[in-house]
């Protein structure tokens, strides 16, 4: 008599375990709500500030914080993690308060974010209903602009391949 309840318990465990394992498998094939998007920002390419007097403020940053200023811009050089031979840069720059470079944003700051594949990022943003402004090619790479829900303009940059 002992073997029947024991074998029934084993059968219940096997069926339940198989059901739970199958359920976990089917759920793992679907992306979790907190999974990051396919294309992601890889770092900060630049920080841009509006200034009433860009020359005077640039001198303040140079004299007080040691920024390597060239005009109203400083470049901070660094090496790519795991690729010391690959040098990157983060730009810090001042713009006059009446600049149109920040678009319609009233924010005094605009951040440039680096991406690996700008076309995939643009496609991803558009698929989520984000308005993407013009795309521009330059000697430094490719750029596009978007505005976040708070009205801050963001610049997305795919550096030129070396």
Residue linked to tokens 């096997």: 14
Closest by CA to 70, choosing from 61, 82, 80, 81, is 61
The pLDDT confidence band at residue 85, using thresholds 50, 70 and 90, is confident
**For the chain, which residues make up each domain, given as ranges?**
1-34, 41-159
Residue linked to tokens 């007097």: 53
The pLDDT confidence band at residue 33, using thresholds 50, 70 and 90, is low
Separation between Cα atoms, residue 27 and residue 21, nearest integer Å: 10
Tell me if 155 sits within 8 A of 118, measured CB to CB.
no
Q: Which CATH class is domain 41-159?
A: alpha beta
**pTM for the predicted model, two decimal places:** 0.74
122-143 mean pLDDT: 95
Separation between Cα atoms, residue 20 and residue 9, nearest integer Å: 16
The pLDDT confidence band at residue 84, using thresholds 50, 70 and 90, is confident
Where is average pLDDT lowest: 23-27, 78-82, 87-91, 98-102?
23-27
């Amino acid at each position: 008599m002992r073997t029947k309840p024991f074998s029934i318990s084993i059968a219940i465990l096997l069926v339940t375990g198989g059901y739970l394992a199958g359920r976990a498998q089917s759920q793992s094939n679907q992306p979790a709500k907190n999974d990051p998007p396919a294309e992601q920002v890889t770092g900060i390419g630049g920080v841009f500030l509006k200034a009433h007097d860009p020359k005077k403020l640039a001198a303040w940053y140079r004299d007080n914080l040691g920024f390597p200023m060239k005009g109203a811009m400083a470049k901070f050089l660094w090496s790519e993690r795991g690729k010391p031979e690959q040098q990157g840069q983060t730009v810090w720059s001042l713009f006059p308060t009446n600049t149109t470079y920040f678009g319609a944003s009233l924010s005094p700051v605009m951040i440039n974010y680096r991406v690996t594949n700008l076309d995939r990022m643009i496609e991803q943003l558009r698929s989520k209903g984000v308005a993407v402004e013009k795309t521009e090619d330059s000697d430094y790479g490719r750029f596009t602009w978007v505005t976040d829900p708070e009205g801050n303009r963001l610049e997305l940059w795919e550096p030129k391949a070396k």
